Amino acid sequence: MQKVWALLVLSLPVVTASPVRALDITTCGVTVPPGEIGALQADLVCAGGNAVELQSGATLDLNAHVLTLADPGAVVWCSEKSCTVRSSAAARGRILGTYESSCVYGIDVVRRVVLENVEISHCEGGVNFRKARVWATDVDVSDCSYFAMLAQSLDLLNVTMQDTGEYGPGASKAIRGKNVRLTNCGEGVYTDGRVRIDGLVAQGNTEYAVYSGSLGLENSALSGNSIDFSTSRRPRLLATSCDRSERHDPFGTEIGTWGVCALD
């Protein structure tokens, strides 16, 4: 597991140079051009359309402020191949939407997304990039009516997700992480692929804390969930406690337990 996490750290995007220009954001509907930084100058409440659009390689710096969209749409819309949303201040920035909006959204052309030092809340979907790899560091997602995060793959560091209606973090391929907390979600971690997490705390999730093809957990605690994890392959657990496991076949049909949790 330590080797897996070391590879994850080495894979994190490294910014070697700042974009050439910075754009002050003081109004709604701003488009940040490719490679530039758009810096929010104060709390901003928008109505109608998308609050901010990020073109390829653009960055939204929330600068510890709150960006709110009061109508359906995307609070932050990434319209091209890559984007970054962060708060460069010590305090986290916040993105706030409605139960009919996406907080941070991108169409299928998006391939790379970075989220840093951000709180995301009160949307239908918190982070929605079905074809992208998403790196999230120091991120909290809460009170989303459908899901917290969806991506092709997720790399999570110091991430908390809570009070989501259906899913916590979901990915079509893989979910890797360190220090991840899931509380009161419908299903917690969800993928038909692989999950590798060092330091997962999952409590009070109404269905599965983890549903995956393969699972590796280290230094983790799963309790108070309907089922702590369901996998199609034998899980690899190190310094990890759990109450109930489930084994499923390739079609998702339950075929027993793994006999590795306290109440199996």
Average pLDDT for consecutive 10-residue bins of the chain (264 residues)? 49 48 92 97 94 98 98 96 97 96 95 98 96 98 96 98 94 98 95 97 96 98 97 98 96 94 97
- Can you give the pLDDT at residue 1? 53
Tell me how far apart the alpha carbons of residues 168 and 162 are, in angstroms, rounded to a whole number. 7
- Can you give the pLDDT at residue 19? 45
139 in the same domain as 194: no
Only one residue has tokens 């709604």, namely 28
10 belongs to a structural domain: no
All residues at 6 or more sequence positions from 115 whose CB lies less than 8 Å from its CB, including other chains = 84, 85, 86, 104, 127, 134, 135, 136, 137, 139
Tell me how far apart the alpha carbons of residues 97 and 48 are, in angstroms, rounded to a whole number. 11
- Can you give the pLDDT at residue 18? 46
- Can you give the pLDDT at residue 9? 47
131 in the same domain as 33: yes
130 in the same domain as 240: no
177 in the same domain as 85: no
For the chain, how many structural domains are there in total?
2
Structural domain span for residue 209: 171-264
230 in the same domain as 124: no
131 in the same domain as 214: no
Give the residue from 91, 29, 98 showing the smallest Cα distance to 61: 91
pTM value is 0.91
- Can you give the pLDDT at residue 142? 97
Tell me how far apart the alpha carbons of residues 194 and 95 are, in angstroms, rounded to a whole number. 29
- Can you give the pLDDT at residue 17? 45
Tell me how far apart the alpha carbons of residues 44 and 57 are, in angstroms, rounded to a whole number. 23
CB 85 within 8 A of CB 63: no
133 in the same domain as 198: no
184 in the same domain as 87: no
All residues at 6 or more sequence positions from 56 whose CB lies less than 8 Å from its CB, including other chains = 34, 35, 80, 81, 82, 83
56 in the same domain as 134: yes
- Can you give the pLDDT at residue 211? 97
32 belongs to a structural domain: yes
